[in-house]
Chains A and B, each alone.
Chain A
Amino acid sequence: QQPVQSPQAVILREGEDAVINCSSSKALYSVHWYRQKHGEAPVFLMILLKGGEQKGHEKISASFNEKKQQSSLYLTASQLSYSGTYFCGTYTSGTYKYIFGTGTRLKVLA
């Protein structure tokens, strides 16, 4: 039931791009993306509400394919500050429960 993210981990050099995928076996009404740095709280990045919606935040953008029950997070020209673990999250159909994806660890090297 937990959304599966891929890859599990990725290492980049500064300036490189990355794509993180989030795939659910259940219908998604929305997808939220968070970044969590080690020892800190998750920080909200963006929300996608509609199928086909794309959002951008600085050099981080995301897309949501409602039919495929997938979302992707795109990190362009990565910076050192992008390092952390990225989680997608969604509310569970028919409940108030919120579930996070399996997480993707991203490390950006100088």
Chain B
Amino acid sequence: NAGVMQNPRHLVRRRGQEARLRCSPMKGHSHVYWYRQLPEEGLKFMVYLQKENIIDESGMPKERFSAEFPKEGPSILRIQQVVRGDSAAYFCASSPPSPGQGRFLAKNIQYFGAGTRLSVL
């Protein structure tokens, strides 16, 4: 959906460098999901955030990966000391807030940005 903005669209990093991926949600949406998609695979949940709060980071690798969604500005997915295995497409999606988890989220539709394709040399 054109309303969710991700940048950059393509990012090339050498092993050991840091990658910063940005996501601005649709107007009126206060929640952001991040997903990783390896070549020829499906999207895998990484983290769910609202402004100034990480709600669920159960899909995030334990090391080198972090995410934030500050009060002002876009959500940032940060990958430190990148390795070749980090090469993937990273998508964010935004959604309206939900009153709770599980069944309370059932109606929430996520709208995706165009993704950032990270290549690690």
Contact check, A93 vs B103: say whether CB atoms are below 8 A apart.
yes
Q: How many A-B residue pairs have CB under 8 A?
A: 72
Q: How far is the CA of A42 from the CA of B115 in the complex (A)?
A: 10
Across the interface, B91 reaches (CB within 8 A) one of A29, A42, A49, A96, namely A42
Residue from B41, B98, B106 whose CB has the most chain A CB atoms within 10 Å: B106
Q: How far is the CA of A44 from the CA of B98 in the complex (A)?
A: 18
Across the interface, B42 reaches (CB within 8 A) one of A92, A95, A101, namely A101
Contact check, B42 vs A100: say whether CB atoms are below 8 A apart.
yes
Chain B residues with Cβ below 8 Å from A62 are none
Contact check, B56 vs A96: say whether CB atoms are below 8 A apart.
yes
Across the interface, A41 reaches (CB within 8 A) one of B42, B91, B101, namely B91
Chain B residues with Cβ below 8 Å from A49 are 106-107
Q: How far is the CA of A98 from the CA of B32 in the complex (A)?
A: 12
Given contacts A87-B42, A92-B102, A93-B102, contact A98 B107 (CB under 8 A): no
Chain B residues with Cβ below 8 Å from A47 are 107, 109
Contact check, B102 vs A95: say whether CB atoms are below 8 A apart.
yes
Count contacts on B: residues with CB < 8 A to the other chain: 28
Chain A residues with Cβ below 8 Å from B42 are 2, 87, 100-103
Contact check, B48 vs A96: say whether CB atoms are below 8 A apart.
yes
Digitize B41-56: 1 where CB-to-A-CB distance is under 8 Å, 0 elsewhere.
1111100100000011
Contact check, B33 vs A98: say whether CB atoms are below 8 A apart.
yes
Chain A residues with Cβ below 8 Å from B44 are 100
Across the interface, A95 reaches (CB within 8 A) one of B1, B43, B58, namely B58
Given contacts A40-B114, A41-B113, A49-B106, contact A94 B101 (CB under 8 A): yes
Contact check, B101 vs A95: say whether CB atoms are below 8 A apart.
yes
Chain B residues with Cβ below 8 Å from A96 are 48, 55-56, 98, 101, 105
State the 4 A-B residue pairs at the shortest beta-carbon distance, nearest first: A30-B106, A41-B112, A29-B106, A96-B56
Which residues of A come within 8 Å of B, CB atoms? 2, 29-30, 32, 40-44, 47, 49, 87, 91-103
What are 5 of the A-B contact pairs (CB < 8 Å)?
A: A2-B42, A44-B109, A91-B108, A94-B101, A94-B102
